[in-house]
C-alpha cells in the first residue's frame, strides 16, 4: 500500500517541474541541473558543453542515479529534450525506456519522493524542487 503523503509529494514535484518546463523549455534544463546538483550532488551528473573559444558552457545532459534506475535528460541541440530511464541491476542494463518529458518528470519525482522518506538530504532536495 502506498503512502498518501509520498504520493502527494511526487505529484507536487512533478507538477512544479512540468510547469517550469511548459513555461520555458530553454531554461528548464539548466534550472533542473542546478537544483539537482545543489540538493543531490552525489547522485547527479551534469554534462556541459561549450563552444570553441567560449567561456560559457551550456547544460547538455543531466543524469540522476536513483536506486536501480538512472534518469537521463538531454538537449541534443534541436530544441526538443530527450528523456530516458535506464534500469540497471549489478551494472547490467536491463531496460532503456525513452519517455516523454512529462512522464520522465513524474517518474523521477516519484523516485525522489520515495527516497525522501528515508534520507534527509533527499527530503531537502524534494523541498527545493517544490520551491522552484
Domain ranges of the chain: 4-131
Quick count: other Cβ atoms within 10 Å of Cβ 128?
Answer: 16
State how far the Cα of 30 lies from the Cα of 88, in Å rounded to an integer. Answer: 26
Distance between start and end Cα atoms, the chain = 30
- Round the CA-based radius of gyration of the chain to a whole number and report it: 15
Maximum C-alpha span of the chain: 55
Residues in the chain: 132
Taking the model in full, what pTM does it have?
0.76
Return the axis-axis angle of helices 120-131 and 101-116, rounded to nearest 10°.
140
Task: For the chain, 132 residues long, give each residue's pLDDT as a single digit of tens.
Answer: 455 444 455 556 556 666 666 566 667 888 888 888 877 888 999 999 877 777 778 889 999 998 889 999 998 877 688 999 999 998 899 999 999 988 998 888 888 777 777 777 666 666 666 554
Q: How far apart are alpha carbons 106 and 127 in whole angstroms?
A: 16
Amino acid at each position: 500500500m502506498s503512502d498518501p503523503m509520498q504520493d502527494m509529494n511526487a505529484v507536487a514535484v512533478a507538477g512544479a517541474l512540468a510547469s517550469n518546463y511548459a513555461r520555458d523549455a530553454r531554461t528548464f534544463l539548466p534550472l533542473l541541473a542546478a537544483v539537482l546538483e545543489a540538493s543531490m550532488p552525489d547522485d547527479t551528473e551534469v554534462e556541459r558543453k561549450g563552444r570553441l573559444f567560449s567561456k560559457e558552457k551550456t547544460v547538455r545532459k543531466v543524469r540522476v542515479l536513483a536506486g536501480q534506475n538512472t534518469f537521463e535528460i538531454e538537449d541534443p541541440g534541436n530544441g526538443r529534450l530527450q528523456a530516458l530511464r535506464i534500469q540497471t541491476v549489478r551494472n547490467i542494463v536491463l531496460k532503456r525506456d525513452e519517455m516523454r518529458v512529462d512522464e520522465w518528470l513524474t517518474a523521477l519525482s516519484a523516485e525522489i519522493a520515495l527516497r525522501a522518506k528515508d534520507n534527509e538530504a533527499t527530503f531537502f532536495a524534494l523541498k527545493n524542487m517544490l520551491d522552484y
